[in-house]
Amino acid sequence: MSDVEEWSFPESLQPNTDDVNFELNAVLDAVVTVRAEIPEDAFTASILGTERIGNGVVIRSDGLILTIGYLITEAETVWLTTNHGDVVSGYPLAYDQTTGLGLIQPLGKLDVPAFVRGTAASCEPGDDVFVIGQGGRPHALKAKLIDKREFAGYWEYVLDEALFTAPAHPQWGGTALVGENGRLLGIGSLLVQEAVDGQTVQGNMMVPIDLLDPILDDMLNTGRSGAQPRPWLGMYTSESEKNLVVGGLAEGGPAATAGIKQGDLVLEVAGKRITSLAGLFRTAWQLGPAGTVIPLTVAREGDVLRFEIRSADRNDFLRKPPLH
């Protein structure tokens, strides 16, 4: 993505102090740029890149930053930039695979305010919201919450209820979703296509802030949530014409090792017919924690094949952050 100085939203799409009932400048200043450098041989380098740029949100007076975890997974170096031009290094403290949230501990003083956290339960589709990236008003967007619904991602990820906004913020990763009262409602995760008034528009998927509190202490203490790690297959699956198609495989991952191939159609998990991406993942997760054998039935070139996949803990495949 381009540097923050090179673009801005039109004035009509930017919030201004006359339109809001909270301290706008304090909210804008609580968002920082996150720049992460990842080794070329890292597990996620080929998918997510070795240079990642996004946003982070200050959530505590000590400068603790909440972001979307894919920005900092396997990061060797993290730099944080404030709206005032201050730059400090950061430590990638935690990444929770279940929610997708990540934490960064600044290794210097940021001297910016912290967000007050709200709750996604306080907002409904149709509400006015703001999607804020680092860079002040030029990178703050007036938007609408257009939906709250389940989301399933091909990388073995499911949210029971994600937040969807439109129009889209072009630097969505780690943006702050802010309600009309100035409180933090969610963290930007993806660019998505959404239906609005009979038309397809670009929007953003946001991870609800409500998911943070139950896992925050564990993330701070252990780098992840306290729940048992879910069984990971390393199988990138998508829905296509009512079929579940294996679109790719993690090199050396459980599914590839067991013999699953790109193009296979997933039919059953443990003998249960599977008709949705979320159903595929949830059925596998219900069989036990990481390490559980996952029976999988697939169709391949007219044949029905059955595999026993020894699942793994995804975290075991990732580089750990260097100690400072």
Q: Which of 2.40.10.120, 3.40.718.10, 2.30.30.40, 1.10.579.10 is the CATH number of 1-227? A: 2.40.10.120
All structural domains of the chain with their residue ranges: 1-227, 235-317
Query: What pLDDT does residue 242 have?
Result: 86
Query: What pLDDT does residue 167 have?
Result: 96
Percent of the chain topping pLDDT 70? 98
When pLDDT is cut at 50, 70 and 90, the band that residue 2 belongs to is: very low
Res. 225: pLDDT tops 50: yes
Q: How high is the mean pLDDT of the chain?
A: 95
Query: What pLDDT does residue 197 have?
Result: 79
Residues 6+ apart with CB under 8 A from 154: 236, 237, 238, 247, 277
Task: Specify the higher pLDDT residue, 103 or 324.
Answer: 103
CATH class of domain segment(s) 235-317: mainly beta
Displacement of CA 45 from its chain's centroid (Å): 16
d(CA 177, CA 65): 14
Q: Over the stretch 243-271, which tens digit does the pLDDT of each residue have?
A: 999 999 999 999 999 999 999 999 999 99
